[in-house]
Amino acid sequence: MFSFHEVSKEFKTDFWEKPFRALDKVSFNLSGGNIVGFLGANGAGKTTGIKILLGFIKPTSGKIEYDPALGKNRSEIFKNIGYLPERPYFYADLTGREFINYIGQLNDLTKLDIKKNGDFWAKSLKIDFALDRKLRFYSKGMLQRLGFVSALVADPMLLILDEPLSGLDPLGRKEFKDIMNQLSSEGKTIFFSSHILSDVEEVSREVVILESGKLVHSGNLLDLVKGKTTDEYELVLDSRESEKIKELGSLQEQGEFCRLVFPQSDFSRVLEQVSKENINIESLKKVTPTLEDIIYRIGV
């Protein structure tokens, strides 16, 4: 769908200060038909990357190449990309319907197509009941839903969603994820940013990860986890034994069992204690890291 080639972006903050490098030679390729998570902590450079991708700001160096399937020129390409901004700006005096009409007209859609697509997505995103209300009366989650409708109204091939799940309640997050899956099964490509790893793990097989403006990984999510272990062990015991081992590591009670996590360096000490106290072991294994552990603790 598109590729970043050594894209860098520097922002001048103060005349005297050195420019701030928000993106540093970021290169990756995003193939079509997938849901790809764009991960990174606050300030990692995700929104900057997205703004460059959408042509809102220019990179300081490097370039982005778009798949010819998206269009022949910039105007065709950008019409084929639906965008949900991180902080959507809405005209407070428009109604939801007027806003969808406005976005549809910007995309050169016919009135009939705007009505057909707008109604369809407003119903799917459960905002149809509020389309005749002014946007000033919409809640945060309602604006987010309307923003998603407007990103979809022109039936784009590629969807760029900047933090689509933030500001939604758990049910709303599930509904958005379901629609993302549905769109992907219809062949659309979705590139969405988030700093919530568990949300990304749920819907995408592929990720692009930034850390302080630098690319740390792009590709399959499983490749990232495969072969990675932590240097910690977990020992599961009957919870009645917890008093005897509670000093040996971090202990969590889980119903009739308790789970002791301790570093590899304490392995012999813990086992000696367990055998001295004659404790039955339910299980003992290396802690498998979560994606969160891998990115923020172990490193990729």
Ligand X SMILES: Nc1ncnc2c1ncn2[C@@H]1O[C@H](COP(=O)(O)OP(=O)(O)OP(=O)(O)O)[C@@H](O)[C@H]1O
Which positions lie near ligand X, rule CB under 6 A?
A: 11, 13, 20, 22, 40, 42-48, 86, 195
Nearer to ligand X, 157 or 197 (CB): 197
Q: What is the 3-state secondary structure (H, E, C) of 248-273?
A: HCEEEEECCEEEEEEEHHHHHHHHHH
DSSP tag of 182 = H
Q: Look at residue 40 and give the partner it binds from ligand X, Mg ion, none, a contact being a CB closer than 5 to 8 Å depending on partner kind.
A: ligand X
Min dist. Cβ of residue 62 to ligand X (A) = 15
Nearer to Mg ion, 46 or 188 (CB): 46
> Is residue 101 classed as helix, strand or coil in its secondary structure?
helix
Q: Look at residue 42 and give the partner it binds from Mg ion, ligand X, none, a contact being a CB closer than 5 to 8 Å depending on partner kind.
A: ligand X
Min dist. Cβ of residue 126 to Mg ion (A) = 25
Q: Are 156 and 81 in contact (CB under 8 A)?
A: yes
Q: Which of 39, 44, 47, 144 binds Mg ion (CB under 5 A)?
A: 47
> Is residue 30 classed as helix, strand or coil in its secondary structure?
strand
Closest by alpha carbon to 197, among 225, 168, 232? 225
Min dist. Cβ of residue 124 to Mg ion (A) = 25
Nearer to Mg ion, 22 or 158 (CB): 22
Nearer to ligand X, 52 or 270 (CB): 52
48 binds Mg ion (CB under 5 A): no
Nearer to ligand X, 47 or 144 (CB): 47
Min dist. Cβ of residue 22 to ligand X (A) = 3
> Is residue 35 classed as helix, strand or coil in its secondary structure?
strand
Q: Are 38 and 50 in contact (CB under 8 A)?
A: yes
Min dist. Cβ of residue 143 to ligand X (A) = 17
Nearer to Mg ion, 133 or 195 (CB): 195
The alpha carbon dihedral of 155, 32, 184, 140 has a sign of negative
CA atoms within 13 A on the CB side of 299: 0
Min dist. Cβ of residue 53 to Mg ion (A) = 13
Site for Mg ion in 84-143 (CB under 5 A): 86
3-state helix, strand and coil shares in percent for the chain, rounded to the nearest 5: 40, 30, 30
Query: Which residues of the chain form contacts with Mg ion (CB under 5 A)?
Result: 46-47, 86
